[in-house]
């Protein structure tokens, strides 16, 4: 079915309420603009922006808004960044987190293959700035693959002690060449697995690092593919997994393959729980950062998988 027809055939379970022009959403948008900050909520056109911003939560996107990768499903602008990381950005993020009164914040970024450390130092500076300004706030990082500088980047980021370390696997291995042409499935798994060991080396005596990954479905994979990816994630000691529906940003992006039903998402949740994940958030509108604090708390409390 052509892209335009699939959009017209969007099922009722994919309907979301438009953000209210008043109240908390508008207040937070003003704070973002005032601080010159980017959020993945906006850059990736997340369908939950109204709900999350209305609840006073957001995912900050550091290192600019131009990505050196060109993944075919992603709405973020790709190209060559024209400037170095803005040195005061970590402080501005921390200040915004404080003013928003957040209890748990997610920090992510575009890929910055142009930087020697792939942006790891900027992640660490942002974590530390948030900790100083908001000692009780949980900090989750959603990192790129740090291709070519993996171990150095892991040490830099994990020395700053985030509460959750996230890297999204996104899709099945056999689709990587088509969906993530510069990505590597095995290296993504290895990054998540290696993070556990690096953490144990540099943070001795602390509880094990909580790791997390996410998938988006409707890009050509089968249900068996999804379950296979979940098994691979568990084999690499991942604690939390999120699974949500792909939404084709424009006609130029990867074609939408199918609408996955709520019943199928429930199956992913049940299967994930049986595999031993501490938390499984699976649903049409779920994104990696959706209700991130709930995901962390569910995993800390044991194997409680959640569908939305």
Contact 119, 107 (CB under 8 A): no
The domain in which residue 187 lies consists of 20-307
List, for the chain, all residue ranges whose pLDDT scores fall below the cut of 70.
1-8, 16-57, 292, 302-308
Q: Write the DSSP string, 86-153.
A: -TTHHHHHHHHHHHHT-SEEEEEE---TTSTTTTHHHHHHHHHHHHHH-TT-EEEEE----TT-HHHH
Strands 306-307 and 279-282: parallel
Residue 158, token pair as written in the block: 């994990």
Q: What is the CATH number of the domain that holds 50?
A: 3.20.20.70
- Would you state the torsion angle of the CA atoms of residues 7, 9, 10, 15, taken in this order, to the nearest 10 degrees? 120
Residue 203 lies inside a defined structural domain of this protein: yes
User: What is the rounded distance in angstroms from the CA atom of residue 219 to the CA atom of residue 174?
Assistant: 12
Residue 211 lies inside a defined structural domain of this protein: yes
Closest CA to 95 of 141, 30, 35, 52: 35
Domains of the chain: total: 1
Contact 21, 27 (CB under 8 A): no
Q: Looking at residue 160, what is its pLDDT?
A: 98
Per-residue pLDDT tens digits for 178-224:
999 999 999 999 999 999 999 999 999 999 999 999 999 999 999 99
Residue 125 lies inside a defined structural domain of this protein: yes
Q: For 147, left (φ over 0), alpha (ψ -120 to 50), or beta?
A: beta
Residue 57 lies inside a defined structural domain of this protein: yes
Contact 129, 93 (CB under 8 A): yes
β-bridge mates for residue 279, sequence order: 240
Q: Looking at residue 294, what is its pLDDT?
A: 76
Residue 157, token pair as written in the block: 């980021």
Q: Cα(first)–Cα(last) distance of the chain, in Å?
A: 27
Q: Looking at residue 306, what is its pLDDT?
A: 45
Q: Looking at residue 18, what is its pLDDT?
A: 58
Q: Looking at residue 165, what is its pLDDT?
A: 98
Contact 284, 260 (CB under 8 A): yes
SS3 content of the chain, % helix, strand, coil (to 5): 40, 15, 45
Residue 14 lies inside a defined structural domain of this protein: no
């Amino acid at each position: 079915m052509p892209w335009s027809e699939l959009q017209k055939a969007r099922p009722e379970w994919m309907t979301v309420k438009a953000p209210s022009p008043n109240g908390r959403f508008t207040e937070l948008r003003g704070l973002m603009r005032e601080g010159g900050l980017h959020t993945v909520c906006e850059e990736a056109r997340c369908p939950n922006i109204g709900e999350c911003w209305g609840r006073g939560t957001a995912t900050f996107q550091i290192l600019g808004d131009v990505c050196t990768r060109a993944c075919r499903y992603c709405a973020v602008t790709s190209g060559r960044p024209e400037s170095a990381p803005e040195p005061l950005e970590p402080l501005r993020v921390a200040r915004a987190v404080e003013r928003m009164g957040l209890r748990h914040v997610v920090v992510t970024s575009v890929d910055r293959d142009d930087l020697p450390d792939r942006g790891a130092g900027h992640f660490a500076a942002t974590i530390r700035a948030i900790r100083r300004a908001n000692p009780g706030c949980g900090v989750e990082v959603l990192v790129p693959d740090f291709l070519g500088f993996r171990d150095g980047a892991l040490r830099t980021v994990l020395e700053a002690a985030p509460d959750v370390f996230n890297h999204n696997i996104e899709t099945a291995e056999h689709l990587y060449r088509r969906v993530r042409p510069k990505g590597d499935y095995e290296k993504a798994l290895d990054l998540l697995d290696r993070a556990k060991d690096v953490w144990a080396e540099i943070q001795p005596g602390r509880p094990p690092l909580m790791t997390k990954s996410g998938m988006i479905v409707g890009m050509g994979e089968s249900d068996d593919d999804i379950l296979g990816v979940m098994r691979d994630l568990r084999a690499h000691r991942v604690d939390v997994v999120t699974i949500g529906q792909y939404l084709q940003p424009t006609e130029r992006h990867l074609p939408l393959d199918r609408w996955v039903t709520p019943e199928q998402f429930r199956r992913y949740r049940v299967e994930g729980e049986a595999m031993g994940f501490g938390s499984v958030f699976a649903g049409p509108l779920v994104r990696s950062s959706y209700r991130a604090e709930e995901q962390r708390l569910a995993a800390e409390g044991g194997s409680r998988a959640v569908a939305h």
